[in-house]
């Protein structure tokens, strides 16, 4: 068997075109996203400029707030509060990681849940579990959209999530459960990982370990979603899944790059447009 390759780039393009239509239908309101970038981390700078460019391409107003890594937590909280009250801003994102002297929890909790387009605020996490109008974290929600586009219904399937981060693993399992999958979480302390992953109808690899998942780890015909963003010895981007092996056994698989990656920023745009629509109601 050779797996169907799930083309994240194409799905992202389709979704962005739909978002453009939604933006055009908004009367007297331009969706606005504020991104706060602290310090000089190269990866963070790259992510932030990709987010800004994506906003620009779609007609979303984007405001960049650059701060030195010496900024005091209280100053940062004041800036967040100003953005909370700013009528032109519908989404606020503080790029992580933060300098060690700033509390991530305090910063995330300072953002109004109605503008928390990352979906990291405890209110949004709670609503993801309990239901209600919420923002869902971008990467797992992007994966749910990918499954929907591929017409893969999680209901009744055994989904195995490898990874338990707040940003991907934990919300991923919740979203799959919300669509009636039977969910197993695995992580770095899981004994005999293979026993669990080999039972998965849908396998989500989000551990951040290159080639963690080999053909031996998967069931024939499984759907394999690779969230990994690792580098090989030559600096080439690669995932958590041994793609060349697994694509011969899976029924569908995401490549790296060109799989989950393009969906993450698309879902940030999606949440920002949703937020603007809610504010315009």
Is residue 141 near ligand GUN by the rule CB under 6 A? Answer: no
Q: Is 118 a catalytic residue?
A: yes
Rounded CA separation 22/18 (Å)? 6
Q: Is 51 a catalytic residue?
A: yes
Rounded CA separation 192/54 (Å)? 41
Q: What binding mask, one character per residue, do residues 181-220 give for ligand GUN by CB under 6 A, x or -?
A: ----------------------------------------
Cβ proximity to ligand GUN, 45 vs 210, nearer residue: 45
Q: Is 226 a catalytic residue?
A: no
In sequence order, the 6+-apart residues with CB closer than 8 A to the CB of 108 are 94, 116, 118, 120, 121, 122
127 appears as a binding residue in the annotation = no
Which residues within the stretch 103-132 sit at the binding site for ligand GUN (CB under 6 A)?
118
The DSSP line for 43-67 is HHHHHHHHHHHHHHHHT-EEEEEEE
Closest of 17, 28, 13, 14 to residue 276, by C-alpha: 28
Is residue 275 near ligand GUN by the rule CB under 6 A? Answer: no
Interface pick for ligand GUN out of 138, 218, 241, 246 (rule CB under 6 A) = 138
164 appears as a binding residue in the annotation = yes
165 appears as a binding residue in the annotation = yes
Q: Which of 7, 116, 118, 226 is catalytic?
A: 118
Q: Which residue has the tokens 């800036």?
A: 79
Rounded CA separation 108/132 (Å)? 20
Annotated binding site for NADP(+): 163-165
Residues that bind ligand GUN (CB under 6 A): 93-96, 118, 138, 167
């Amino acid at each position: 068997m050779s797996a169907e390759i799930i083309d994240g780039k194409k799905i992202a393009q389709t979704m962005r075109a739909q978002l453009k239509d939604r933006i055009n239908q908004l009367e007297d309101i331009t969706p606005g996203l504020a991104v706060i970038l602290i310090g000089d981390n190269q990866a963070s700078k790259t992510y932030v400029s990709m987010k800004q460019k994506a906003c620009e391409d779609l007609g979303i107003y984007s405001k960049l707030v650059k701060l030195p890594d010496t900024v005091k937590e209280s100053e940062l909280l004041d800036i967040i509060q100003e953005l909370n009250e700013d009528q032109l801003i519908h989404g606020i994102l503080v790029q992580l990681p933060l300098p060690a002297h700033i509390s991530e929890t305090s910063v995330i909790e300072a953002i109004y849940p109605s503008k928390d387009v990352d979906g990291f605020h405890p209110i949004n996490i709670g609503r993801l579990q309990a239901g209600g109008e919420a923002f869902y974290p971008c990467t797992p929600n992007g994966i749910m959209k990918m499954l929907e586009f591929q017409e893969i219904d999680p209901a009744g399937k055994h989904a195995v999530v490898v990874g338990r981060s707040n940003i991907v693993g934990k919300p991923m399992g919740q979203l799959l459960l919300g669509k009636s999958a039977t969910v197993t979480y695995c992580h770095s302390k899981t004994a005999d990982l293979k026993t669990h992953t080999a039972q998965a109808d849908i396998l989500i690899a989000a551990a951040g370990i290159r080639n963690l998942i080999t053909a031996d780890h998967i069931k024939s015909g499984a759907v394999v979603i690779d969230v990994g963003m690792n580098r090989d010895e030559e600096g080439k981007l690669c995932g958590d899944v041994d793609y060349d092996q697994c694509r011969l056994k899976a029924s569908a698989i995401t490549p790296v790059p060109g799989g989950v990656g393009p969906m993450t920023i698309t879902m940030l745009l999606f949440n920002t447009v949703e937020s603007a629509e809610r504010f315009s109601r």
